[in-house]
Structure 1
Amino acid sequence: MISSRPSLIRTTASCRVKASPSPHLWLHNPTFPFPEKRSKNLKLNATNSDLENTRPLIKFPPSLWADRFLSVPVEDELELNGLTREIEDLKSKVREKLAFSPSDNDKERIRSIHLLISLGLSYHFESEIEDTLDRAFGNLAEIIADEYDLHTISIMFQVFRLYGHNMSCDVFDRFKGDDGKFRKNLEMDVRAMLSLYEAAHLGTTSNDMDEAMSFTSKYLESLPIDLASPHLYSLIRNALYQPRYHNMEILFAREYISFYEQEEDRDEILLKFAKLNFRRMQLHYIQELEIVSKWWKGLDLPSKLPYFRDRIVESYFATVGVYPEPRYSFQRTMVTKIFIIATVTVVDDSCDAYVTLPEVASLVHGLERWDLGVIDSIPDYMKIVLRHALLILSEVEREVKPEVRSQIKQETMEELKIIMRAFLQIAQWARAGHVPTFEEYMEVGLVTTGIELLMKLGFVWMEHTNRKNVSEWLRSRPKIIQTVNAMFRLSNDKVSYKHETSRGEVANGINCYMKQFGVTTEEEAGGAIQRMYDGNYKILVEEFLNSTASTDVPRNLLMRVLKMVGVFDVFYRDGDGFTYPRGKIDKHITSLFVDRIQI
């Protein structure tokens, strides 16, 4: 029997379907149990004509990159070695400047930590930062007792919450008038307003930062261009479009380095350190792209299976968003391979964009058995899909330590079986033209994201983790993982509605919401989906704070979940950037992997 996926919050009478559409239906129940269905019970009777008539035959845009990253210049290796030595020298100087010692001013150190985070440098000083914040948070009341600078308080709020310390939003009451609203004179400090705006994106389900969000958004959106320097104004406009905590950390770091370079009070040593560090990260990424590009070229899948999305570079770019630090090279390359073969592209697109319903059932059966022995009974192109899916998962098995190999293999097999059964259910709905209820769809749609499998396998190779504790935590299907899973499904469905329905895939979040609640426009349904997404983000922040305080799971691991949200937002903010990367995602990729930062 397939074990059901536990719901985050049990469905009660108060959150069942009602006559009027309510985005809150889902805010308090962001995941649902997977229905207990086995593919072997599926009975299919179809003629050859029927099989061909149910083949979707979708054509996606080709890769934008061709062989662009197949080779790395020899001089890059020499530069990388030189940069490593220079960075180590600068790191010691920066550490001395920051003076992480108890005798220094806590507020100044926290401002320095915020700057390190913004420049993409904080990973160099994680232990010093955590020790500093642990000590300071225990003395927070005294530190902020006489602090009435909004910019400083907003920065402290961000830093503490990012490191798992639940600094109360009550700290902002000192900036409000007798009417309980933020005082108008705060608008005289543009930087403070931007900092409060950023802090507001770390609010939780108690709606503790909603007023701050409304207050700062209205002000910043109407800010005249002459009230801020050009580089600050540009930072504000970008923040309004892509808030920093809904952005990929590495993309924000590149933007902030350019901003900081134009600041009059910049620290030249810190600026040089940030540029050298970013350049070294670029070189790491380019070397890894060469590795995965050669691997991909060797498989030659785009010519063998021309119907799927050839997105090896975009897949790698997504993993950089979750694991940006240089030391996570193995995670980036392995998760990219799993992502493009076993979850989001080859297998998913085979089920959605080409394979007939009986063939989906055969593929599910083969993967359930983890057996290449069934390969003779399926079409040639299906043999290719099955063989490569099993081979990449066998590679995962080889790469984990012997003592956990059997456990990881078993858990991966079970997770993939559940994903494949969900693909089969989506295919059944599509071929039958059936639009399920929103709840029925989400039960299945959440599974097809593959997020849980990708996170689980990425965490296996994380350093300084108690694998037993982490494995038990993941098996409990924690709320934070389920919530980020929900956010992926909601954001993807909102932007993929048109091209999915055009190919006959009627079971989509937008479509199901419209049918269930009698909503007549895509815009209205999309607005409801967005409100669910925003509500789930608050749940995510809350769960991050709760998990950091109450579990043995390292903060570094939990941060991967928060970083994943930036990936969703970058890819899906203005359309399906993964399927159609030209115009935005290709520019981000160029900024990271092609245009080297100038030292």
Structure 2
Amino acid sequence: MASTKAGNPIDWQPDTFRPSANFEPSLWGDRFSSFHLDNQAFEMYSKEVEVLKEEVRSMLIDAESKASEKMNLINTIERLGVFYHFEKEIEEKLEQIFHSHSHLEDHEDYNDLSTAAIHFRIFRQHGYNMSCDVFNKFKDNNGKFNENLTRDVMGMLSLYEASHLRINGEDIIDEALAFTTTHLESMVTDELSPFLAKQVMHALEQPLHKGIPRLEARRYISIYEEDVSKNKLLLKLAKFDFNLLQLTHKQELCHMSRWWNDLGFESKLPFVRSRVVECYFWAMTAYFEPHYSLGRIILAKIIVMSSVLNDIYDEYGTIEELKLFTDAMQRAIINLYEEFDKEMTKQGRSYSVDGSKYAFKEIARSYHMEAKWCKEGYVPSFDEFMSNALNSVGYYLLTASSFVGMGAIATTETFGWIKDKPKILVASRTIVRLMDDIVDYEEDLEKGHVATGIICYMKEHAGMSKEEPYGWPDDYRHVPASDYWHAPTAADYWHVPTFDYRHVPAVADYRLVPAVDYLQTPTATDFRHVPTFDYRHVPAATDYRHVPTVDYRQVPIVVDYRQTPMVDYWQVANQHVTPVSQPSVLGEQPMVNQSYG
């Protein structure tokens, strides 16, 4: 798409006091705008992936293998991050296996804890209502989980991961989560093998269900490589595919970086954050697959523009200057959406841009209101604050924008569903809004913000300490925050239009984002401080079987990136599946054994 040029610099008043946020400069500099795709490596990876895909496809459709073997294969494919190549085959096999047994919980395969837990997790991820009664057989006469289960570390780990797909009212799964968490934490200090200890520690810090798909895949590739029972064909496919996608993502980021430079905001609006890499990373967590390249670019650009808009309103401008800024930004935003309109018109999907444009206007109005409150020192009631804050959080904008470039899968019905603001969307943005206010409380006070969720709530409840409101969300007044995940949103959630739920994005705050370095070393070092949230605990409908094909694990989770450690993916084209004698893309040593070359 063509570059979007900003207007002339705004005539800022130099003697005006401004609550500067003192943003750190971008950690990335201009490194990605000069990226050049290694076409030879890209072609080599592409050819290898195509050959290996067909071999794995043959394994999936093999009619001779047992159901348990097929489920283990599906689990491995999904954990290695190559599932998107085989969605049709996976769904057909799951449908066949699920309906081949009228009472799955009584099947002999489920006498093994690890097998039962893995199957439970996979079926639920794909929308099948597998009963939690399958775990009753693992309880003792007192109705507690049998302590002998603690001897089966992999079984406990599998049950722990499965418990994150619980729904409202499933007490046995709540018990399973508490049981496995307690014992796995104690096991870490015992003499577990390094292979098991590494998996247990990571799961406790960042459950699979709450992970970022590409980072989880990269991590599991290393774990699977140490597995003595590994399938070398699958491992080879996973490595080639990862490297191929990494090059694709870097090429897109190069486009984003050049687009940002063309905007000229760093000279015209030098106080705004340069967060192109972080915003692109957010979009990439919404959908990483290569066929959603256009969707990623569109979504990332909208996130960048909303970030600039937020910086001006939240940190810098006076009311008078904001009016000038609105005019200047409006030109850039109009130009951007005109590009999107042209692109979507070519696809016969011009309708897909309208919702995003409306949401951008909505968020701009909300930012303006918050700025007005701040300048006037006005503290609204909590209800008045929330009516505006639910728009300023940006959740509706990013959700609507995420579907713009997804192609035919996002229909007019999809955008109609978004426009009606279903309960799951309202619930999610309420959680994000209030969690953001909790995290930002001290910082907001330093900036002189008087209208935040905590301040407004305390105003209505005289004598309340700042810690007490932390028990909100939900109706956001009457129900503790921990209960919001079980809010009655099932009817809306399970009957939404047919599209892939893992592409419903979450909202992040990029104001203090450290380097999310997915382009260098695709290994997350420490997720202990990343607050994540789980949409999947929304009460389910009576039967998941009619839910469109979904891998719920891939739904981007609401993350406060301000505490995200350096996740180094972007620069090191890590662990290329090439012979040691062949140079890797950026000169690093390949990770694969020579026998794979």
Range class of TM-score, shorter chain: 0.7 to 0.9
- Residue of structure 2 aligned with 1:175, choices 122, 138, 143: 138
Residue 482 in structure 1 maps to residue 460 in structure 2:
no
Q: What letter corresponds to residue 93 of structure 1 in structure 2? A: E
* Aligned twin of 1:574: 529
1:567 offset after TM fit, Å? Answer: 10
From 480, 491, 498, the equivalent of 1:553 is: 498
Match of 1:80 in 2: 42
Give the distance between the partners of 1:449 and 1:584, measured in 2 at CA: 20
Code of the residue aligned with 2:75 in structure 1: it is H
2:111 is paired with a residue whose SS is coil
Distance 2:51 2:401 in 1: 35
For residues 233-274 of structure 1, give each alpha carbon's deviation from its aligned partner in whole angstroms, at most 9, with x where no partner exists.
122112212222222111111111111111111111111111
Corresponding letter in the other structure for 1:254 = R
Name the amino acid aligned to 1:161: R
- The 1:110/1:466 distance shift into structure 2, 3 A limit, reads same
Amino acid at match of 1:560: H
C-alpha distance in 2, partners of 1:567/1:80? 33
Structure 2, unpaired ranges of 5+? 1-11, 517-526, 533-557, 576-590, 593-597
- Indicate the SS of the match to 2:441: helix
Provide closer, same or farther for how the CA distance between residues 581 and 151 of structure 1 changes in structure 2, counting only shifts above 3 A. Answer: closer
Specify which of 77, 89, 95 is matched with residue 51 of structure 2. 89
CA, structure 1 residues 466+448, in 2 after alignment: closer, same or farther (shift >3 Å)? closer
1:150 corresponds in structure 2 to: 113
Measure the CA separation in 2 of the matches of 1:523 and 1:227: 40
The one-letter amino acid of 2:569's match is S
Quick check: 1:197–1:216 contact (8 Å CA) kept in 2? yes
Q: 1:57 aligns with which of 20, 29, 32?
A: 20
CA distance in 1, matches of 2:392, 2:41: 42
- 2:344 is matched with 400
Deviations 1:482-529 (A, max 9, x none): 333234323433322222221122333344444445675555544656
Moved more, 85-94 or 139-148: 139-148
Q: Which runs of 5+ in 1 are unaligned?
A: 1-47, 363-377
Q: 1:382 to 1:565 in 2, by over 3 A?
A: closer
Q: 1:191 to 1:434 in 2, by over 3 A?
A: farther
Counterpart of 1:430, as a letter, is C
- Is 2:34 the counterpart of 1:71? yes
Report the number of matched residues.
521
Taking the aligned partners of 1:454 and 1:582, their CA distance within structure 2 comes to 19
Assess if the C-alpha contact under 8 Å between 2:390 and 2:433 holds in 1.
yes
Structure with the higher fraction of residues in helix conformation: 1
The 1:174–1:88 alpha-carbon spacing in structure 2 relative to 1, beyond 3 Å, is: same
* 1:70 counterpart SS class: helix
**8 Å contact kept, 1:154–1:196:** yes
Distance in 2 (alpha carbons) for counterparts of 1:226 and 1:420: 54
Q: What is the distance in 1 between the residues matched to 2:356 and 2:448?
A: 31
CA shift at 1:424, angstroms?
A: 2.1
CA distance in 1, matches of 2:530, 2:73: 36
Structure 1 pair 138–287 and aligned structure 2 pair: CA distance change class (3 A): same
Q: 2:360 aligns with which of 397, 407, 416?
A: 416
Of 390, 402, 424, the residue aligned with 1:458 is: 402
CA distance in 2 between counterparts of 1:301 and 1:429 reads: 26
Aligned to 1:123: 84
CA contact (8 A) 1:260 1:271 kept: yes
Kept after mapping to 2: 8 A contact 1:257/1:271: yes
Residues 557-599 of structure 1: per-residue CA shift (max 9 Å, x gap): x1212x64899999997379999978844x21x2355351333
Letter in 2 for 1:194: L
TM-score normalised by L of structure 1: 0.79
Structure 1 residues 321-371: Cα deviation after superposition (integer angstroms, max 9, x where no partner): 111112211111111111111x2x1111111011123444x3xxxxxxxxx
CA–CA distance in 1 between the matches of 2:267 and 2:531?
24
Segments ≥4 residues shifted beyond 6 Å: 565-573, 575-583
In the TM superposition, 1:181-580 aligns within 5 A as 181-208=144-171, 209-341=173-305, 343=306, 345-360=307-322, 362=323, 378=324, 383-401=327-345, 407-465=351-409, 467-517=411-461, 522-526=466-470, 534-539=482-487, 543=490, 547-548=493-494, 550-554=495-499, 556=500, 558-561=501-504, 564=506, 574=529
Output one character per residue of 1:169-192: Cα deviation in whole Å (capped at 9) or x when no partner. 222222122322211111111111
Q: TM-score, normalised by structure 2?
A: 0.79
Cα deviation, residue 84, structure 1: 0.6
Q: Is the 8 A contact 2:414 2:496 kept in 1?
A: no
Q: Which amino acid aligns with 1:346?
A: V
Quick one: which of 121, 139, 149 aligns to 2:100? 139
| RMSD over aligned Cα atoms | 3.3
Change (3 A) 1:159 1:525: same
Q: What is the DSSP-based 3-state SS (H/G/I as helix, E as strand, rest coil) of the residue aligned with 1:317?
A: helix
CA offset at residue 437 of structure 1? 4.2
* Change beyond 3 A, Cα 1:487–1:322: farther
User: What do the CA deviations read for 1:418-469 (whole angstroms, capped 9, x no partner)?
Assistant: 2222112222322233444444333222211222222223213224426122
Structure 2: distance between partners of 1:567 and 1:262:
36
Q: Is residue 413–residue 497 contact of structure 2 (8 Å, CA) maintained in 1?
A: yes
1:433 to 1:72, Cα distance in 2 relative to 1, 3 A: same
What amino acid does structure 1 have at the position aligned with 2:334?
L
Question: Percent identity of the aligned residues?
Answer: 34
Q: How many Å separate the matches in 2 of 1:94 and 1:293? A: 37
Q: Is the contact between residue 321 and residue 567 of structure 1 (CA under 8 Å) also seen in structure 2?
A: no
Residue identity opposite 2:443 in structure 1: H
Taking a change above 3 Å as real, the CA distance of residues 336 and 519 of structure 1, as seen in their structure-2 partners, is: farther
Q: Distance in 2 between matches of 1:266 and 1:94?
A: 14
Alpha-carbon distance change, 152 to 330 in structure 1, aligned in 2, over 3 angstroms: same
Provide the C-alpha distance between the structure 2 equivalents of 1:126 and 1:532, rounded to a whole number of angstroms.
38
Q: What is the aligned partner in structure 2 of residue 99 from structure 1?
A: 61
